[in-house]
Every structure is written in structure tokens, then in C-alpha cells.
Structure 1
């Protein structure tokens, strides 16, 4: 079948050497030159040329996932923890021997910081290993990852996104919660993965007019489509619902804030009628005002 046929196997075209071995697992073993001789490496029957997994001797680590790209000759790796399933390391390379060295280090339990010394293409996500699944340490690790990710992004809006993350981290009530993102909006939970208990505000950056704090995701889901900026109001806190989503417990009643609004902060109902949001030029000022108005409404810190 011609290589450019829409029905041709992209893996067979880009990876004829892998296809000759019959699976990515077998090709990985061959490229390892004996390094993976005693290691369990397997490819699924449904995608033998595109995927392989490498076992690990450490119970708090999951299997290392190796995947082949379909548009260019490149392999990606992802090594996650076994409890939350979140990546501790990742990376891309066109050198399968490098992948084999990373796989061996992952299998043997080599400390995360040392794996890039063995295989330089490996990228540390910022998360740290928490073998005992301590919620406080998992929360700290997730904040570390979130801040590193914001610092490393290669997008035009990266500076604004990083400022959002750092402003949230600087707020003690939010820093005590477990952070996670959805469509680049920052959200919070009183429990860690795999079962999140969502509380607190939803924070997002706007490309042309500052930042938004929403009472929940639906309140700001159309802000990216350039809604009209809400008109300023002189008395909003005293008559508006809180921007933070209350905890499911009865110990977090809806709070009321001061009667005056800081300059540059406008509050209005969302256009879809589901919740309220704040548009602000200074996220740190808005978060400071929210905390002083009653940060306990964010929900209990992770313990």
C-alpha cells in the first residue's frame, strides 16, 4: 500500500524498524542493548507499534507509558504516581535508546531529580513523590507543579496566566486548598485526587481586560467570547452572592463583604444567568478583598 494512502499504517511508515520487531516493546528492548533485559516491558495487542509500558519496582509509581507520535518520528514518555495518576516526569525524543535509559531509571526507582541526568530529554513536572499519600504534601506538590507549568508555558498569554497562578498561591486561604485546572481556569478542592471536592472561586485570565473570578465554572464559561464589560457599581459586596463556591458542609454560609468596591473591580451576573463573576485589573487586590471578607467560605483546608 502506498505510504501516503489514507489507509496506510502511520506507524509502519514512520517506524519501519519498530514494525520489523512487531511491537514497540520489542523495539525498546532491542534499543536498550540489554539494559531492560530483566524489566517487564509490554505493548497492548490493540496498538503494538504505538504504545509500550514499563513496570516499576516502587509501589507508589505507576508504569511508565511510552507512546509513538503519528505525524513525525518521535516518542513521548509519561511516568505517573500510582495514587493520583498524575505525571511526575514526561518528555519527548527521537532517540529510542534514550527512552530505554529513562525506562530503566524509572523501573529501578531512581530519584526523580536524577532521571534527567541519565536521559537528558526527561522533563520534571514539578510534582514530588509522596509514597504515603499525605494530603498536605500532595497539595504542596500540586502547587509546585502548577507554578512550574505556568512558568514554562510557551504561549503569548503565559505572563498573565503565571501572574494569576502566583496571585492565587500568595493568598493563604487558597494556598491551603488543592489546586487543579480546567481549560486553563484555576480551581480548588478540599480533597486531593482521585476524588476532588470542589470549592472556592474559579479564576481565569482574560486576553484583553484583566482577570475574572467566578462563583463556579458556568459563571465564566463565556468570558472568552468577549462579553461586554460589566458596568461599575458602588455597592456590590453587600447585595451580591459570594464569588467563592461554598463548601458542601453547613459550616460555610454565604458571606457578605464590605460596602465599597476597590477601583478596577466590577461585579455582574454572568450572561448565561448561572452564577456571578468579577472582572478585575488587579487579581491580587480582588483576592485580598475576598479573603478579608471571609476566607473561610472557601472551604476547609486540605488536612
Structure 2
């Protein structure tokens, strides 16, 4: 690893040797934030053992260790397969260092989404947004989206694992007045929405084809 000028460079070198695309930008100096449809991947060297590399997957406020190995070649192949969307069962069969049970159980139980709602609703820091959060959480469709906060606006994302999935921002600049903005799409500016229409507008922005 020293000869390769750090872990990120070593991963790129191993990926090139194996013919793998691991999505690590050429300018990256650390092996963190590798974008995938199932969260961000990161690699770090476990300090207790010089040649053991730990693979983790992250979404906002959540992270899972999904395996450790001392084989960089196998590691980059697993990262490339993860990025390609290979099913979890197949990943486990191909890469026996992966430990996916905890990650799979959390997703199947909806734990990250439910826990994130609970954390935001109970947060004193976001007390000013609590009324809006409660209103959104009360809707059974919007409750299934993954919420985060962006400059005091609530961001709702359809797929908690994929940062590019459909998402929308909703802001309550004053009580009873709402503004909505699609993060991507044909309407980049804030649009004022009445309280009566808020839930329908958010549902349409997140789930209707357009």
C-alpha cells in the first residue's frame, strides 16, 4: 500500500489490474464516498491488523460494516459487483468475506427510514420544523420516504439507499405556508403550495411519472 501512495491509489491500481470499475475518482485521496445505488461505500484499513481492509456502506446517519478482507483484488471485485447491482445473495455466494445479514435485515424491516423519522420528530434542533414533519409523517405514503433536513427544509427521498433517486424539498417559511421544490426535474424553483394541496403535490412529485 505504501508503494501505491495510499489506500485510494492502491484500490485504483488493484481495480485496473482486475479490470474492475469501482467508481473511485482519479482525484480522490481517500477511499470514501464511492457512489452506488445501494448507498455510499467506503474502505478503511483496520488499525489492529496492517493488511485488513474493512468495507462499509452508508446512507445519511446510518452505516454498516459489511465485511473485511486482506485481499485487495477480491475487495475491488466485490465493490465493482456491488456497484453493478448484483443481488445480495449472489454477492454473498461470490465473496465469502461479506457479512450482509444485518444490512439486509435493516432494509427489509424498514429500520433506517423509521429510525430517521423518529430521530427528526424528537430532535430539539429541528423543533421549528416539527409541525411540518408530523404532517408529512402522518401520510402513509410519505412516511415510507427517507427524510433528511437541508437548510431547515425537509428532503424526502424515495429510495434511502440511492442518492440519485427521486426526491423533493418542502419548506414552511411561516406557519401554514408551504414551498416545494423538486431536487431534479423541470421545476427547479420553489413553488408555493396551499396546505390543502401539500400532500397531493408531494405524492405526485415523488411517485407520478412526469
TM range (shorter): 0.3 to 0.5
Instruction: Return the TM-score normalized by structure 2.
Output: 0.46
Instruction: Return the TM-score normalized by structure 1.
Output: 0.33
Which has the larger Rg? Answer: 1
